[in-house]
Amino acid sequence: MKALVYEGPWQMPLREVPEPEPGPEDVIVAVKAVGVCGSDIHGFTGASGRRIPPMIMGHEFSGEIRAVGAAVTDHRPGERVVVQPIITCGQCINCLAGLPNICTNRRGLGMMTTNGAYAELVCVPQQLLYELPAEVSWEHGALVEPLSVAMHAVNQTPIQLMDTVLILGAGTIGLMTLLSCRLKGAGKIIVADLSPHRLEVARKLGADVTVNPAAEDLGEVVRRYAGPAGAPVVMEAVGVTATARQSLELVRPGGHVTWIGNAMPTIEIPMQQVVTREVTIRGVYAFNVEFGRAIETIRSGRVDVSPIIEQVTPLEEGPQIAHDLAKGTLDAIKVVLRP
């Protein structure tokens, strides 16, 4: 089968590789749509260290069951599915506490050393399968995973009805955080990003105020709309030093900062700004119940994720897409590959 094999920083050629063989509890999914995630690009360049070559990336995907393992009785070939990509142990303290997203033994399909869906076929443990309703397209199915991440971030954050929320970053996760904050009853939503194009999509998706910090004083805009003390809630969806610092500077004393971005392993922040202002910083990772709910959120039309998908292209284009996204010469929010 054809697959994009990550072979080292900036190297992800299309290769012919052996088809995966299902274990007794596995299914083989023929990938119909797979999203290119920012974390894949940070892995592609080697910046995050979270993709260990040689491996196949791709964790945001939908597809059709091609074959099932000997012990699989609840699924059969032909079913439309969307795959929750995190494999958990079910036995560690976090799994037992109902927090499988932070399972100490977790592996992610398409992360670290585990193969994912930048391929024609992918082997998936059967417990990761969710039905993709007939009325949800393959491409929208590929957006269930990032929407789940944003819904989890918003679920973990205490947002009161009509709170002003500042979102730093208008990539896929930032924009889905915007949609999720709206669902949760946020008041004014301010979105900041350096890309005018992304800010335009943010406005299309319902942002009240958009700011380009390169052109405008972000602090002044936040104080104008949220009050002189800053925003009660700040969602950081970039994961670098500059935006982590902005999140602390622009939250009001006693406010809540949620860090979703996961690009730089280490950053330096002004600790006293947190301590003396009693700011709560919360890290959020992946999702739990949100995965199934994200499918229903899209199916029911409560959010429209269409404006986030900016390019749908064959798998073969993947190497060029990854290169252009990493270089910044392509400013597409979500690219979906169709194997």
CB of 222 or CB of 235, closer to Zn ion: 235
Give the nearer residue to Zn ion in terms of CB position, either 144 or 190.
Answer: 144
Q: Within positions 28 to 87, which residues make up the interface with Zn ion, using CB under 5 A?
A: 37, 39
CB of 150 to Zn ion, least distance (A): 11
216 phi, psi to nearest 5 deg: -135, 160
Shortest distance (Å) from residue 117 CB to Zn ion = 12
Instruction: Compute the least distance from the CB of residue 91 to Zn ion, in Å.
Output: 6
Instruction: State the number of binding residues for Zn ion (CB under 5 A).
Output: 8
Q: How far is the CB of 50 from Zn ion (least distance, A)?
A: 10
| CA-based radius of gyration for the chain | 20
Supply 219's token pair: 């602090």
Note whether 88 and 105 are within 8 A (CB): yes
Q: Specify the residue, 89 or 312, whose C-beta has the smaller distance to Zn ion.
A: 89
CA distances from 33 to 62, 99, 225, 237, 336 (A): 5, 28, 39, 24, 6
The answer for residues whose C-beta is within 8 angstroms of residue 144's C-beta and 6 or more apart is 60, 62, 82, 130, 291, 294, 295, 298
CA–CA separation, 4 and 12 (whole Å): 6
Establish how many alpha carbons lie within 13 A of residue 163's alpha carbon, considering only the half-sphere containing its beta carbon.
Answer: 23
Q: Name the minimum Å distance from CB 286 to Zn ion.
A: 9
Between residue 88 and residue 127, which ones bind Zn ion under the rule CB under 5 A? Answer: 88-89, 92, 95, 103, 105
For Zn ion, the closer CB: 40 or 163: 40
Distance between CA 234 and CA 255 in Å, rounded? 8
Closer to Zn ion by Cβ: residue 95 or 244: 95
Least Å distance, CB 245 to Zn ion, is 24
**Distance (Å, whole) CA 239 – CA 241:** 7
Rounded to a whole number of angstroms, the minimum distance from the CB of residue 105 to Zn ion is: 5
CB nearer to Zn ion: give 37 or 218.
37
Whole-number minimum distance, CB 246 to Zn ion, in Å? 22
Q: Is 285 helix (H, G, I), strand (E, B) or coil?
A: coil
Q: Which of residues 238-267 bind Zn ion (CB under 5 A)?
A: none
Site string for Zn ion, 138-177 (x = CB under 5 A): ----------------------------------------
User: Distance (Å, rounded) from C-alpha 94 to C-alpha 9?
Assistant: 33
- Cβ 159 vs Cβ 51: under 8 Å: no
Quick check: 42 and 263 in contact, CB under 8 A?
yes
Closer CB to Zn ion, 36 or 165, in the complex: 36
> Judged by CB, which is closer to Zn ion: 48, or 88?
88
Give residues in contact with Zn ion (CB under 5 A).
Answer: 37, 39, 88-89, 92, 95, 103, 105
